[in-house]
Structure 1
Amino acid sequence: MICREHDGAIVMVKQHDHGKLAGELAIWFKEEHVPEEGRRDEVLWAVAEHDRGWIDLDETPFWNDAEHAPYSFIDFPVVPKLTFYKRGLDEIEARTPYGALLCSLHFERLIKISGLDYPELTLYQEHEEERRSRIHRELEVSKPIGEDELYYDARLLEFCDDLSLYLALNEPGSPKSEEHPWWREGFSGSEDFSFTSGRTITVEWKDKSTLVLDPFPFQKTVEVAFMLKRVQQSEIAKRGIAPAYRDTPEEECRIVLTALNES
């Protein structure tokens, strides 16, 4: 679950809904920069499904007593999180081994960034290293991976995941001073895309429904939508997180992504 506090409520977005949003962003990414030997359909599906391991976990949120807040993807207990990561990757591999390779690398990067160190993490990483090696061997026989292909696709997943998280973790229209700190200086790694000429993609809210990106990474101005719940903290205190979340209606958040010179 992706969570943030706003005006006496906890705004909650399901991880898989965030993943589907990332997949929508990937569809509109500038195609002319995709390596020729690509697997576009597989990559787009994998980006959209990369967090499918959270589907069951997010049906009922769990309360973190120490933080007085729901558990989120950041602080969810390691052992069940890794179990569902693996299940999600197994499901992705059944559809597209290349997509599982891509998503496994993505989770490996997130684990390294987190700095966490648990025996269970070591076992998980060993298992995923074996998965990636096996997929590499299998694809070498059937459809070898191009020299720049995996690097580009990993950057695409990373950027679309980050931008989708940005949209979920920030109240639309927020000034820079109130934005989530992860992206105040822009999206790390975005300077690797050729169209940026080495610049980092930055974002700024024009208003409560329009986000300006510079350099602009999409084929055209894009309107995206995702679902969220604003669960009142008073209801959580009165009834508990599970029933309060269950009975809170979903609402749609729609955002227009546009270029600086079009804003």
Structure 2
Amino acid sequence: MICREQDGAFVMVKQHEHGRLAGEFAQWFKEEHVPEGNRRAEVLRAVSNHDRGWIDLDETPFWNDAAGAPYSFIDFPVVPKLTFYKRGLNEIEADTPYGALLCSLHFERLIEVSGEDCPELTAYLKDEEERRARIHRDLEKNQPIGEGELYYDARLLQFSDDLSLYLALNEPGSPKSEEHPWWKDGFSGSEDFSFTSGRLISAEWQDASTLMLDPFPFTRDVEVAMVLRKVSKKEIASKGIASAYSSAPEEECRITVTSRPKAD
């Protein structure tokens, strides 16, 4: 679950919903910068489904007593999180082994950034290293991975994931000074795309329904509808997080992602 606070409530977005938005962003990424190959459809499916391991977990949110807030993907306990990571990767691999390779690398990067450490995590990393080695061997027999292909696709997944998270973790229309600290300097890794000329892609709200990016990474303006629930803190206090979440109506937050106007 992705959570942020707003006016006596928690705004909550399911992980798989966030993944769906990431897939929409990847679909409209500038194709002229995509390495030649015939795995585009697989990559798009992988990006859209990279967080499918959270589907069952997000049906009923859990309360973090220490934080006084719902557990989110940031602080969710490691052992069950790894179990569902692996389950999601197994489902992705059944559809697209290359996509599972891509998502496995993505999760490894997230774990490294988190700094988490425990025996279960060590075992998970070892298992995933073996999964990636097996997939590499199988692909080399029939469909070898081109030079730079995996590196590029990993950056595409990372950026699409980050941009979708940006929409969920920032209040639409908020000033740059209130931006979530993860993206204060721009989207990490985006400087590797050739069209950025080494610049980080940065974001800024034009208003509550329009987000501007510079440099602009898409072939057109992209409009997305993010499904969320605003769960009242009073409702949580009176009947618990599970019941309060279940009774909160789903809402759509529509955002258009566009380019920043050029200065005169």
Unaligned stretches of 5+ residues in structure 2: none
Cα deviation, 1:134-167, whole Å, max 9, x if unaligned, reads 0000000010000110000000000000000000
Whole-angstrom CA distance in 2 between matches of 1:261 and 1:63: 43
Unaligned stretches of 5+ residues in structure 1: none
Which residue is equivalent to 2:220? 220
Kept after mapping to 2: 8 A contact 1:212/1:257: yes
Deviation at 1:262, TM superposition (A): 7.2
Matched-pair identity in %? 76
Which runs of structure 1 show a deviation greater than 6 angstroms over 4 or more consecutive aligned residues? none
TM-score of the aligned structures, taking structure 1 as reference length: 0.99
Deviates more, 1:122-131 or 1:180-189: 180-189
Whole-angstrom CA distance in 2 between matches of 1:259 and 1:170: 18
Cα deviation, 1:196-243, whole Å, max 9, x if unaligned, reads 000000000000000000000000111111100000101000110000
Which residue is equivalent to 1:67? 67
Which residue is equivalent to 1:100? 100
Q: Aligned ranges for residues 1-263 of structure 1 at < 5 Å?
A: 1-261=1-261
Query: In the alignment, residue 188 of structure 2 is paired with which amino acid?
Result: S
TM-score of the aligned structures, taking structure 2 as reference length: 0.98
Cα deviation, 1:164-216, whole Å, max 9, x if unaligned, reads 00000011001112111100110010000000000000000000000000000
In structure 1, the residue corresponding to 2:261 is in which secondary structure? helix
Cα deviation, 1:63-99, whole Å, max 9, x if unaligned, reads 0011111000000000000000000000000000000
Kept after mapping to 2: 8 A contact 1:190/1:199: yes
Whole-angstrom CA distance in 1 between matches of 2:261 and 2:242: 45
TM-align CA RMSD: 0.9
Deviation at 1:37, TM superposition (A): 2.0
Whole-angstrom CA distance in 2 between matches of 1:130 and 1:236: 43
Query: In the alignment, residue 151 of structure 2 is paired with which amino acid?
Result: Y
Deviation at 1:38, TM superposition (A): 4.3
Whole-angstrom CA distance in 1 between matches of 2:118 and 2:225: 37
